[in-house]
Amino acid sequence: MDHGQYSSQHAGALKHWLGLFNAGIQLTKPGIIFGNLASVLGGYFLAGRGDLAEPASLLATLLGTALVIGCGCVINNCVDRDIDRRMVRTCHRALALRTITVPTAASYAIALGVAGFGLLWAGSNALASFLAMVGLVIYAGVYTYWLKRRSHWATLIGSLSGAMPPVIGYCAVTGRFDATAVLLIVVFCCWQMPHSHAITVMRREDFRAARLPLLSLPEAYRQIQAYILAFLAGSLVLGVVAQMHAVYFALMLGLCGYWMTLAASATRLTDPPGWARKVFGFSILLVLALNLSLAVMGQA
């Protein structure tokens, strides 16, 4: 027996399966999943006032939401594979490179979705599962399949799906959709808009290459500043309704004030990509601070 040949065959097979595993992970966009799970935790602990009464329910909520988000991201990869081939940022994705077939990716998405909804239904509650379904339909259907190539309003509609994770976490505890849940949607939608518009300014050439609708730079600037003000107003109202600690209000005022300072900086006229990168980077720090505040600053 040629042991060398035998070993090389096994090494080749292992490399193949590792490649498929890595591609499968990348299709789910793990960065997006982990970012959204922070929001799930914020909503969950806001509802529970920082208490962890049912660890199994929290685990099911986190894992179920992660699987549903992964399902949506795989569908997004399937639909956008032609766009991804035209953009420098995304041309290396598995479906863009045809290293995975669309039927295989679609089957993978279905498996993730079924597992995710099943976990939310069994380990959390029906309302959390329904909200996850709403988020998936908006992201994969309305945003990705219908509006993204047709209108810049797709960003606003898509922000609704981005606002679902904290509401899923909140409703997993309360079992009801109330004023706080509505305000969570408003606040996270308003955060998503400057975050997303900053990406379009940073990656403007990519979006043009993909022939996607774009706001003019002056309009993008105006919308970013308007939504930052809306985010501040919404977060303060949320604090009142959810009876947050006084430190929460001071933190939101300070962070949003700095975010607005970045957004109004004159560098937006001289170096739009560099300006957008700062606005985008701070938006990530801000939403992490918001989620942490929701989790720990609710008054007993």
CATH code where residue 107 lies: 1.10.357.140
Q: Which is nearest to 59 in space by CA: 76, 34, 77, 40?
A: 40
Residue 202 in any domain: the answer is yes
Residue 10 in any domain: the answer is no
């595993």: which residue's tokens? 21
Q: What is the pLDDT of residue 10?
A: 54
Domain that holds residue 219: 28-297
Q: What is the pLDDT of residue 3?
A: 52
Q: What is the pLDDT of residue 43?
A: 96
Task: Please give the model's pTM, rounded to 2 decimal places.
Answer: 0.92
Q: What is the pLDDT of residue 272?
A: 97
How is residue 164 written in tokens?
């679902």
Q: What is the pLDDT of residue 21?
A: 77
Q: What is the pLDDT of residue 20?
A: 74
Q: What is the pLDDT of residue 175?
A: 95
pLDDT per residue rounded down to tens, the chain (300 residues) = 455 555 555 555 556 566 677 888 999 999 999 999 999 999 999 998 867 768 899 999 999 999 999 999 999 999 999 999 999 989 899 999 998 999 999 999 999 999 999 999 999 999 999 999 999 999 999 999 999 999 989 999 999 999 999 999 999 999 999 999 999 999 999 999 999 999 999 999 999 999 999 999 999 999 999 999 999 999 999 999 999 999 999 999 999 999 999 999 999 999 999 999 999 999 999 999 999 999 998 755
Residue 22 in any domain: the answer is no
Q: What is the pLDDT of residue 52?
A: 72
How is residue 153 written in tokens?
């309003």
Question: Is 161 exposed, middle or buried (CB count within 10 Å of its CB: 0-12, 13-18, 19+)?
Answer: buried
- Written as one letter, the residue type at 89 is R
Q: Is residue 268 within 8 Å of residue 202, measured between CB atoms?
A: no
Residue 81 in any domain: the answer is yes
Q: What is the pLDDT of residue 297?
A: 83
Residue 13 in any domain: the answer is no
Q: Is 298 helix (H, G, I), strand (E, B) or coil?
A: strand
Q: Is residue 67 within 8 Å of residue 119, measured between CB atoms?
A: yes
Question: Who's near 149: CB < 8 A, 6+ residues apart?
Answer: 83, 211, 212, 213
Q: How many domains does the chain have?
A: 1
Residue 221 in any domain: the answer is yes
Residue 180 in any domain: the answer is yes
Q: What is the pLDDT of residue 8?
A: 57
Q: What is the pLDDT of residue 49?
A: 82
Q: Which is nearest to 263 in space by CA: 290, 300, 227?
A: 227
């109004």: which residue's tokens? 264
Residue 132 in any domain: the answer is yes
